[in-house]
Amino acid sequence: MSTNRTISRRKLMGYAWVGAGIIVMGELIFGTLAFLWPRKRESKGEKVLIAGKVSDFKVNEVVYFRKERVFIEKTDEGFLAFSAVCTHLNCVVHWNEILKKFECPCHGAKFNRYGEVLEGPPPRPLDLYKIQIVEEKLVIDTGAPVERKKFDPSQMVKD
Ligand code: FES
């Protein structure tokens, strides 16, 4: 015994429209909820850069980690980890090894080796990331940039 079940083209199109409508409504509802729901702030430890061994860094050297947009500088007094994001309008700064300054290509800002504003419109120094030294390795908490008003030697992490 066989059954010959057929469905009209009109009915098939009706089902397709209902299915598409359900998908669109679902996306609207979930999209709206996702937009309205408070976002979880990234906190300490959620994003971490293991930058290498302390002994890998030379004094007065600035090393850039492109993916994380982090500069790490080693001085006689210790380490600093800067965000490469300009505090004016979020362009990415670069390190000028000859002039020993961070420079922003967007509006000409310049920052000294401690991230302090030398010239240009940024309202504050480059943000810092917290550094921990764990088993001789530099561990940078890139999930929580720290804003500051000025450089202070206490911001350096001794090795
Ligand atoms: S974004 Fe860097 S100076 Fe404007």
Where are the domains positioned within the chain? 48-155
Q: What is the pTM of this model?
A: 0.70
The finding on whether 92 has its CB within 6 A of some atom of ligand 1 is no
The finding on whether 85 has its CB within 6 A of some atom of ligand 1 is no
How far is it, in rounded angstroms, from Cα 1 to Cα 42? 64
The finding on whether 89 has its CB within 6 A of some atom of ligand 1 is yes
Is the pLDDT score of 98 beyond 70? yes
Is the pLDDT score of 47 beyond 90? no
Are 72 and 51 in contact, with CB atoms under 8 Å apart? yes
Give the nearest ligand 1 atom to 89 CA.
1
Percent of the chain scoring above 70 in pLDDT: 89
Considering the domain 48-155, what is its CATH architecture? Answer: 3-layer Sandwich (2.102)
Nearest to 139 by CA among 83, 75, 79: 79
pLDDT tens per residue, range 57-68? 999 999 999 999
Nearest to 63 by CA among 89, 88, 84: 84
Give the nearest ligand 1 atom to 122 CA.
3
